[in-house]
Amino acid sequence: MTLVTDTAASETIERLDAEAVNSARTRQPLYAPRKKIFPKRATGQFRRFKWLIMLVTLGIYYLTPWLRWDRGPHAPDQAVLVDLANRRFYFFFIEIWPQEFIYVAGLLVMAGVGLFLITSTVGRAWCGYTCPQTVWVDLFLVVERAIEGDRNARIKLDGAPMSAPKLAKRFSKHLIWVVIAVATGGAWVFYFADAPTLLVDIVTGQAAPVAYMTIATLTATTYVFGGLMREQVCTYMCPWPRIQAAMLDENSLTVTYNDWRGEPRSRHAKKAAAEGKTVGDCVDCNACVAVCPMGIDIRDGQQLECITCALCIDACDGVMDKLGRERGLISYATLADYNANMALATASGTDVINPDRVRDAAGGLSDKVAHFRWQKIFRPRTFVYFGTWSLIGLVMLYALLTRDRLEVNVLHDRNPQYVVLSDGSIRNGYTVKLLNMIPEPRVIFLSLDGLPGATMQVVGLDQPEGRSAAIPVDPDRLREVRIFITLPADRLNDANAKFSFVVEDKASFESDIYRASFNRPGAAR
């Protein structure tokens, strides 16, 4: 009896239409296995621009370590060099010492703000054109196409059983990829030592183990990221696609499928039109999908995977040219323009897309269609980014042009803080560091300012005790000297404990000052 009652009661309970988002029945694996992508070769203005960028960026990367820059006999002649052994960074006429690392930090901040500026104006242009991952994948694809053919030939080859010709093609492709990867790793280490010398050392097995380890690591990462993982690096490993969304607004340019003129798409547009159906400009040829290096369909809307390489624009423009229609079915567009045109095509959202609404009587695009205007680049967000970027750049430039190439740093002896000599005079010890930051030898004059009656003796320097000394310093070096300052007993009371070490280069008129103190018995410290 109880059972019957319970069943009857349960039937009165409403079943809600709800399902857990991670229910076992529909749960997706966290990692989707890779589906192979065979991007077709694209032609057009954006492809040509990408070739140019690729040539320039690869040229800069591979050739820069081989550029020479004459800094005289006392400094390396490599134009760009990170000299780890001597802790210097050389960039053409600029030399950075470790304590000047703020310039490098400033450059990194500028690069970050510059990336914000570019992203907020032209979307992910960094990803699509200049990111090393994009450039090297492009390079690897050039090799793949040259050996295995374009998309259809590669798909056919991939599906074919292993044979001698297939093995030969695959072997050649991977061999060239490895050569490129080795060259990439090799070029990197040339930035850290004299390139011609290091090349000889590497080839003859004389280079440091760390050089071989670095080359091996970069070879492996270039080969795996550029040849094997490709788009997966952008989709799964790179944080930038997640961050960039915060920098886009409705006036940022992104690669957009203009469905307000493309839909309803039809593979048989003429037939559909003859039947009186409304058809858009998209003939559903999939050319845009075939060229996409990320393997996505831009017609599905903005996607995290889209690196805005614009190759789909080239592909679709080619199709539109053949059909005799206006280019720009896929184009760089802002969300604001897209929304305005969408409102036009859908009668402000009251109807489905009707591309006739965006066309004039002659069949061309109506004057009401919104197009991107360059003035839209100038808006508060981009002004703030550009202002910040410029300000950091100007401050850095000013600091760089007016920075001192002569410095003095002083360390007062802490134990003992002073010594009372047999005649009652007081002696203090100091370690003075003289920095000659130019690649020329210099004689630096060190003198005392203040502390009347005091004399100075430089340990190891054959010069009479006095109030100044001439100290030679090697080019581009720091010289550390021990100095004793002695104050006679009869000048103890009238002496102010504060004084300065003054360094001067009388040839270049550069100078620096370090304010120090002189310790004596009973004086407050």
The stretch among 53-61, 282-290, 452-460, 517-525 that binds ligand SF4 (CB under 6 A) is: 282-290
- Taking alpha carbons only, the member of 281, 280, 292, 290 closest to residue 354 is 280
- Which is it for the CA torsion 396, 398, 402, 408, positive or negative? negative
Cβ-based nearer residue to ligand SF4, 200 or 273: 273
Q: Which of 54, 80, 283, 437 binds ligand SF4 (CB under 6 A)?
A: 283
Cβ-based nearer residue to ligand SF4, 266 or 425: 266
Rounded distance, CA 447 to CA 461, Å? 14
Q: Which of 253, 316, 345, 516 binds ligand SF4 (CB under 6 A)?
A: 316
Residue 308 touching ligand SF4 (CB under 6 A): yes
What's the closest the beta carbon of residue 151 comes to ligand SF4, in angstroms? Answer: 13
Cis omega (within 30 of 0) for bond into 264: yes
State the number of binding residues for ligand SF4 (CB under 6 A).
28
Rounded distance, CA 216 to CA 186, Å? 9
Residue 75 burial (C-beta neighbours within 10 Å; 0-12, 13-18, 19+)? buried
The identity of residue 399, as a single letter, is: A
- Taking alpha carbons only, the member of 152, 149, 148, 154 closest to residue 171 is 148
Cβ-based nearer residue to ligand SF4, 300 or 449: 300
- Taking alpha carbons only, the member of 457, 525, 450, 517 closest to residue 486 is 457
Residue 137 touching ligand SF4 (CB under 6 A): no
Please name every residue paired with 502 in a beta bridge, in sequence order, or none if there are none. 447, 513
If DSSP codes are grouped into helix, strand and coil, which group holds residue 297? coil
Q: What is the contact mask toward ligand SF4 in residues 159 to 178, using x (rule: CB under 6 A)? A: --------------------
Residue 310 touching ligand SF4 (CB under 6 A): yes
Q: Which of 193, 233, 306, 369 binds ligand SF4 (CB under 6 A)?
A: 306
The stretch among 163-171, 183-191, 280-288, 445-453 that binds ligand SF4 (CB under 6 A) is: 280-288
- Indicate the helix (H) or strand (E) that contains 344: helix 335-345
What's the closest the beta carbon of residue 141 comes to ligand SF4, in angstroms? Answer: 13
Contact 496, 388 (CB under 8 A): no
User: Which residues are within 8 A (CB) of 64 and not within 5 positions of it... i.e. 6 or more apart?
Assistant: 79, 80, 191
Residue 215 touching ligand SF4 (CB under 6 A): no
- Taking alpha carbons only, the member of 287, 254, 278 closest to residue 353 is 278
- Indicate the helix (H) or strand (E) that contains 436: strand 426-436
Residue 500 burial (CB count, 10 A): 15
What's the closest the beta carbon of residue 437 comes to ligand SF4, in angstroms? Answer: 47
Q: Which of 115, 135, 312, 458 binds ligand SF4 (CB under 6 A)?
A: 312
Q: Which of 135, 211, 279, 282 binds ligand SF4 (CB under 6 A)?
A: 282
Cβ-based nearer residue to ligand SF4, 198 or 269: 269
The stretch among 10-18, 152-160, 283-291, 488-496 that binds ligand SF4 (CB under 6 A) is: 283-291
What's the closest the beta carbon of residue 232 comes to ligand SF4, in angstroms? Answer: 14
List residues binding ligand SF4 (CB under 6 A). 255, 257, 262, 282-288, 291-292, 294, 296, 298-299, 306-312, 315-316, 319, 329-330
